[in-house]
A = this chain, B = another copy of it.
Amino acid sequence: MRATILTSPGHIELQTLADPQLEQDTDAIVRVVASCICGSDLWPYRGLNGEQTEPRQIGHEFVGVVEQVGDAVSGLAPGDFVIAPFMYSDNTCALCRRGVHTSCVNGGGYSGCQCELVRVPQADGTLVTVPGSVSQELVPHLLTLSDVFPTGHHAAVSAGVREGSTVAVVGDGAVGLSAVLAATQLGAATVVAMSRHADRQALAREFGADAIVETRGKEGAAEVREIFDGIGADCVLECVGTDASMKQAFMATRPGGTVGYVGVPHGVSIDPRPIFGRNIGLAGGVAPVRNYLEDLLPAVLDGTIEPGKVFDLTLPLDQVAEGYRAMDERRATKVLLTP
């Protein structure tokens, strides 16, 4: 099969690898219908995740059709259209039962998915079948359920967004935009998106943002506080992961509020004193996507929400290197790849 390889930072190649095979009787082999490039893929692409010692497959977000299942797989059959959460999990262990599928005692990550075939361990626990036939139009929206939309949703849930909440979102990437949509769906009274890009601002508005703040840092946080009665937002959704974005998030939160964070932290160090004095909480982390799928799928299937609008560039797999360049250079918000 053809598979995307990060040979070294900045270098993406499509190579031919042996097709993956069933290894455990709980595995499934899934033929990828669509995958995408995650903001977190850009960290190793940019060489910011430490030294890379050898070429490796990349990618973790995909939807596809089951091709083959192991003998112990009972809930899936070849031909099923499935959503693959970006980490696999057994959905039965003590941590899955508590909704933290990303800490599943039998869980882990895929070898990569910006390719044609993926071996999915713990297939019964991991893959969620989409009922009925799946139209081409629905594919991008379903694809967001593998990571980006539930990740934005996790920021909102972690920050405690509920009916009537005041919300600010730090980060206007695909996750930040998804967080705007998720907060709106959870009943937020007012959502402020922090964004400096016209096209992203427009999508934030479409996803439910009531106001846009273009400034950043202390000044941006002060603008957010001003919008919310001078005290700040109940819930701030941090969707970047840098030290600056985290500080901005804390400064935009009202005393007693919560920062829900889903941007993988890079170079972040938190001095708890200012947040201790203002009783600002921090919650979130790697999104347990599997935990949210039953909740989120119906609204996608019936068209209530269209989270796939975060994709602004679709490329065939053999142009994956261009996809990385486009996201790296911010020419694209999020790139969808078709085999």
Chain A interface residues (CB < 8 Å from chain B): 94-95, 98-100, 102-103, 158, 229, 231, 246, 254-256, 258, 261, 264-265, 268-273, 275-286, 288
Contacts and interface: CB of A to CB of B under 8 A. Distances in A.
Given A94-B231, A231-B94, A276 B264 contact: yes
Highest count of chain B CB atoms <10 Å: which of A95, A268, A276: A276
A311 to B, nearest CB: 26
B281 A286 contact: no
A280 B269 contact: no
Contacts of A95: 231, 254-256
B282 A103 contact: no
B270 A270 contact: yes
A268 B272 contact: yes
Contacts of A261: 272, 276
Contacts of A282: 272, 281-283
Given A94-B229, A94-B231, A261-B272, A158 B281 contact: yes
A256 B291 CA distance: 12
A228 to B, nearest CB: 10
A256 B99 contact: yes
B100 A255 contact: yes
A152 B54 CA distance: 51
Contacts of A284: 276, 279, 281
A234 to B, nearest CB: 8
B283 A278 contact: no
Contacts of A278: 100, 103, 285
A37 to B, nearest CB: 21
A283 B286 contact: no
Contacts of A158: 279, 281
A64 B158 CA distance: 41
12 contacts: A98-B254, A100-B254, A100-B279, A103-B278, A264-B276, A265-B276, A270-B270, A270-B271, A277-B285, A278-B285, A279-B285, A282-B282
Nearest to A281: B283
Contact of A256 (B103, B268, B272): B103
Contacts of A102: 255, 277, 279
Given A94-B231, A254-B95, A255-B100, A276 B286 contact: yes
A279 B261 CA distance: 10
A265 B273 contact: yes
Contact of A283 (B103, B229, B269, B283): B283
Given A269-B271, A279-B288, 15 more contacts: A94-B229, A99-B256, A102-B255, A102-B279, A103-B256, A256-B288, A258-B283, A264-B276, A269-B269, A269-B270, A276-B285, A277-B285, A277-B286, A280-B285, A281-B284
